[in-house]
Amino acid sequence: MAFDIDMIKKVYSQMAERVDAAREVVGKPLTLSEKILYNHLWDGKATKAFTRGKDYVDFAPDRIACQDATAQMALLQFMQAGKDKVAVPTTVHCDHLIQAKEGAATDLKHANDVSSEVFNFLESVSNKYGIGFWKPGAGIIHQVVLENYAFPGGMMIGTDSHTVNAGGLGMVAIGVGGADAVDVMAGMAWELKFPKLIGVKLTGELSGWTAPKDVILKVAEILTVKGGTGAIVEYFGPGATAMSCTGKGTICNMGAEIGATTSTFGYDESMERYLRATDREDVADAANKVKEYLTADAEVYANPEQYFDQVIEINLSELNPLLNGPFTPDLSTSVGNDMTEKAKANDWPIQVEWGLIGSCTNSSYEDLSRASSIAQQALDKGLKMKAELGINPGSEKVRYTADRDGILGIFEKLDAKIFTNACGPCIGQWARYSDPKNAPKNSIVHSFNRNFAKRADGNPNTHAFVASPELTAAIAIAGRLDFNPMTDKLINEDGQEVMFDEPRGWELPPKGFEVKDNGYLAPVEDGSGVEVVVSPTSERLQLLTPFEPIGNEIKGAKLLIKAFGKCTTDHISMAGPWLRFRGHLDNISNNCLIGAVNAFGKKTNFVKNQLTGEFAGVPDTARAYKAAGIKSVVVGDHNYGEGSSREHAAMEPRHLGVAAVIVKSFARIHETNLKKQGMLGLTFANENDYDLIQEDDTFNFVDIASFSPDKQLTLEVVHADGSKDTIMLNHTYNQAQIDWYNEGSALNLIKKQNA
């Protein structure tokens, strides 16, 4: 089963009634985003209008997708929920743990050797619980989702921030943390703050060297990396309908780079063509029957200012090809002279050493075919590559078809490396250097989405610029950052001046898509007999043990760390090399809070162990308290836990015996994650009380036994000299969340309810 047509038909069958009811309560015409959101309310038909940017709403997503790095902890948690099967269609995609070095065949074999334990685990859990499994090499999660599962008007969540890519097929698709995915897998609702809406009207038409990538690079320039926060970006207008479905995917994909909740487009003929080309005639037929519900009401796009919180208009006919970067995706520069000046002023290396085409952002058949039309011209016009070129096809279906049609062969004639159908250089899985930290300053151009320092190759001195695949190809051939293919000539091997013609390509393969083995493994019907094997000596995987309830007596808890200033989920649970331990709670807990600055001494990972009086790292100190049967407390500043929705940032302190995190204020997702893990996430009623906390403090939670909604908790803070302060703590727990606390975690409660 590649996709679930019955599920899709069910979504469409309820659409008219639910959307009409929503229009009634909202009292005005609806955007596409609102139609999709209101059609996916957990409680069914809307009975009231929700306030954008304010109300928290329970939704019922149609699908879930997980990638291999985040799926490990998500599935380990799901295994604790006591369910036989996932409650909604779910897939797992092995794409992040594959390094790019020699080329696809060698690299894939290497990944299968070094990560076989993780892949086997994910495959067996998928098989057991009814989850579709995409093997290593099958493709990048978001390209595979677009090709197989995305459908107009659907709602999905995925444990990866670029899940938003599926907006290219008219979905509301949102990246979430593993804990949220587990809730939905276990049959619970998924909560989201009702988003604000940004409308982007696309007029004019893309032509010549301008590509869908340039649209989102322009939007990033306008909105910056924070401009989309808390909003759905809805694209419309003649420029939108004239664009391919995969081009729309590129635009939605990089919505993550402007912080948007997600992005989407209304259903149109390009989507219908794509559905039919990817063997989903029945989805296209079903969508055609509810067409008017798969786009906004006509009045909305006619007068967008009245219906969106913000409206941007871009004339595609006036858009220039852009290069965004380095180090941030919103710093945009037009090709050519602008770049010459800017590079000089900023000391960016003008020589380009690599061009990389692919990633989930730009790895469609259309992308590869347009880039190959430039590569073919290099061959025809006698041009030699001045930089190296690497290609990551988005899926085996795209790779096989592009190979059949001679596209990959063109790149290979230019000595390009064809890497595995996987993330590779896009996520730092690129063995470019033996010692990246000391590697030289250089520039690269790629068609990926992110270009933060070290993102591609671990080298802090690599200046990465983001561009369309066709511009990436041209710049890699020219070897210069300031090359403008629309005006500049190159000297070929015969000493002649030559110019590139405009790129050409096919929206869809003229001979249709083809694939021999797409890399999909369907789960068995009855997974009860499937054994999930995790070696007790594994350093990468560890079965979870249910957390014991913290209980209604917390006395003599010790201060573990008083975090000073910014403390994001990265400070609490670092990424980078720790990625390999994402499936092993005890091992990854060795990074717990090691990035947080201790308010006493202003150092990181250096806190006082009150039992010995000595200073040590945070994880070691927490383990010492836990071994002594003593609970510990973390104190923090404002917006504690901002950043990603990484559940490890809550699970690690919980695992190490932290009973409570008390802060001036929380990032909301992290606060919820703490609640889900059965911990206390509390805020100072008087934020100046943060200053009362001293290095040797011990805490008594005076009235935790009567923990209840809307009632403050009292904390007795005992200082080293015996003096005491009594302070009040606020909390936002409702009764259901207090039940999580009482049971030890939300999953413990689900399991109990199942039993």
User: For ligand SF4, which stretch binds (CB under 6 A), given 109-117, 135-143, 584-592, 651-659?
Assistant: 135-143
Question: How many residues line the site for ligand SF4 (CB under 6 A)?
Answer: 14
Q: In terms of CB distance, is 162 or 571 closer to ligand SF4?
A: 162
Is 95 designated active site?
A: yes
Q: In terms of CB distance, is 7 or 579 closer to ligand SF4?
A: 579
Rule CB under 6 A: say whether 462 interacts with ligand SF4: no
Residue 507 CB partners (closer than 8 Å, separation 6+): 244, 246, 270, 273, 366
Residue 472 CB partners (closer than 8 Å, separation 6+): 355, 356, 357, 371, 445, 446, 447
Rounded-to-integer distance, Cα 527 and Cα 250, Å: 37
Instruction: Rule CB under 6 A: choose which of 86, 426, 597, 749 binds ligand SF4.
Output: 426
Rounded-to-integer distance, Cα 620 and Cα 304, Å: 56
Q: Which of residues 186-205 bind ligand SF4 (CB under 6 A)?
A: none
Contact present, 95 and 121 (Cβ < 8 Å): no
Considering 23, 450, 648, 654, which one is annotated as catalytic? 450
User: For ligand SF4, which stretch binds (CB under 6 A), given 145-153, 307-315, 419-427, 667-675?
Assistant: 419-427
Residue 47 CB partners (closer than 8 Å, separation 6+): 25
Q: In terms of CB distance, is 68 or 272 closer to ligand SF4?
A: 68
Burial class (CB in 10 A: 0-12, 13-18, 19+), 525: exposed
Q: In terms of CB distance, is 95 or 123 closer to ligand SF4?
A: 95
Q: Which of residues 552-611 bind ligand SF4 (CB under 6 A)?
A: none
Smallest separation, CB 428 to ligand SF4 (Å): 9
Smallest separation, CB 329 to ligand SF4 (Å): 11
Rule CB under 6 A: say whether 737 interacts with ligand SF4: no
Instruction: Rule CB under 6 A: choose which of 140, 240, 284, 618 binds ligand SF4.
Output: 140
- 583 closest CA partner among 126, 8, 122: 122
Q: In terms of CB distance, is 180 or 743 closer to ligand SF4?
A: 180
Rule CB under 6 A: say whether 141 interacts with ligand SF4: yes
Pair type for strands 231-236 and 462-466: unpaired
Q: In terms of CB distance, is 162 or 540 closer to ligand SF4?
A: 162
- 89 closest CA partner among 527, 531, 645, 523: 523
HEC per residue, 336-395: CHHHHHHHHHHCCCCEEEEEEEECCCCCCHHHHHHHHHHHHHHHHCCCCCCCEEEEECCE
Rounded-to-integer distance, Cα 636 and Cα 517, Å: 51
Contact present, 529 and 408 (Cβ < 8 Å): no
User: Taking the alpha carbons of 150, 151, 152, 153 in that order, is the dihedral positive or negative?
Assistant: negative
Is 96 designated active site?
A: yes
Rule CB under 6 A: say whether 456 interacts with ligand SF4: no
Is 207 designated active site?
A: no
User: For ligand SF4, which stretch binds (CB under 6 A), given 51-59, 137-145, 507-515, 655-663?
Assistant: 137-145
Is 124 designated active site?
A: no
Q: Which of residues 83-102 bind ligand SF4 (CB under 6 A)?
A: 95-96
Q: In terms of CB distance, is 286 or 357 closer to ligand SF4?
A: 357
Evaluate the omega torsion of the peptide bond into residue 326 and state whether it is cis, within 30 degrees of 0.
yes
Three-state DSSP class for residue 705: helix
User: Taking the alpha carbons of 451, 457, 458, 462 in that order, is the dihedral positive or negative?
Assistant: negative
Rule CB under 6 A: say whether 360 interacts with ligand SF4: yes
Rule CB under 6 A: say whether 427 interacts with ligand SF4: yes
Rule CB under 6 A: say whether 457 interacts with ligand SF4: no
C-alpha distance from residue 495 to each of 381, 383, 388, 483, 491 (Å):
11, 10, 21, 18, 5
Smallest separation, CB 162 to ligand SF4 (Å): 5
Smallest separation, CB 70 to ligand SF4 (Å): 10
Q: In terms of CB distance, is 127 or 472 closer to ligand SF4?
A: 472
Smallest separation, CB 426 to ligand SF4 (Å): 3
Rule CB under 6 A: say whether 160 interacts with ligand SF4: yes
Is 380 designated active site?
A: no
Instruction: Rule CB under 6 A: choose which of 77, 359, 542, 673 binds ligand SF4.
Output: 359
Rule CB under 6 A: say whether 423 interacts with ligand SF4: yes
Considering 107, 160, 297, 457, which one is annotated as catalytic? 160
Is 710 designated active site?
A: no
Burial class (CB in 10 A: 0-12, 13-18, 19+), 138: buried
Q: In terms of CB distance, is 18 or 397 closer to ligand SF4?
A: 397
Rule CB under 6 A: say whether 449 interacts with ligand SF4: yes
Alpha helices in 561-709 (DSSP H): 569-572, 585-588, 618-627, 648-655, 668-676
Local structure of residue 261 (DSSP, 8 states): S
Rule CB under 6 A: say whether 542 interacts with ligand SF4: no
User: For ligand SF4, which stretch binds (CB under 6 A), given 134-142, 275-283, 583-591, 620-628?
Assistant: 134-142
Smallest separation, CB 254 to ligand SF4 (Å): 9
Q: In terms of CB distance, is 96 or 562 closer to ligand SF4?
A: 96
C-alpha distance from residue 160 to each of 70, 130, 224, 423, 466 (Å):
8, 20, 21, 12, 20
Rule CB under 6 A: say whether 447 interacts with ligand SF4: no
User: For ligand SF4, which stretch binds (CB under 6 A), given 139-147, 437-445, 504-512, 544-552?
Assistant: 139-147
Rounded-to-integer distance, Cα 660 and Cα 675, Å: 10
Residue 353 backbone dihedrals phi, psi, to 5 degrees: -100, -30
How crowded is residue 290: how many other Cβ atoms within 10 Å of its Cβ?
18
Q: Which of residues 627-686 bind ligand SF4 (CB under 6 A)?
A: none
Rounded-to-integer distance, Cα 256 and Cα 451, Å: 13
**Contacts for 56-59: CB closer than 8 Å, 24+ residues apart:** 56/191, 56/192, 56/193, 56/194, 57/191, 57/192, 57/193, 57/194, 58/189, 58/190, 58/191, 59/155, 59/189, 59/190, 59/191, 59/192
Considering 646, 648, 655, 670, which one is annotated as catalytic? 646
Considering 62, 95, 183, 214, which one is annotated as catalytic? 95
Smallest separation, CB 163 to ligand SF4 (Å): 9
Rounded-to-integer distance, Cα 661 and Cα 682, Å: 6
Rounded-to-integer distance, Cα 349 and Cα 468, Å: 20
Smallest separation, CB 143 to ligand SF4 (Å): 8
Considering 96, 142, 370, 654, which one is annotated as catalytic? 96
Q: Which of residues 693-732 bind ligand SF4 (CB under 6 A)?
A: none
Three-state DSSP class for residue 105: helix
Q: In terms of CB distance, is 140 or 219 closer to ligand SF4?
A: 140
CA diameter of the chain: 87
Residue 270 CB partners (closer than 8 Å, separation 6+): 241, 243, 244, 245, 248, 507
Rule CB under 6 A: say whether 260 interacts with ligand SF4: no
User: For ligand SF4, which stretch binds (CB under 6 A), given 36-44, 276-284, 423-431, 618-626?
Assistant: 423-431
Q: In terms of CB distance, is 96 or 675 closer to ligand SF4?
A: 96
User: For ligand SF4, which stretch binds (CB under 6 A), given 289-297, 421-429, 537-545, 746-754?
Assistant: 421-429
Q: In terms of CB distance, is 257 or 366 closer to ligand SF4?
A: 257
Residues that bind ligand SF4 (CB under 6 A): 95-96, 140-142, 160, 162, 359-360, 423, 426-427, 448-449
Which residues are marked as active site? 95-96, 160, 450, 644, 646
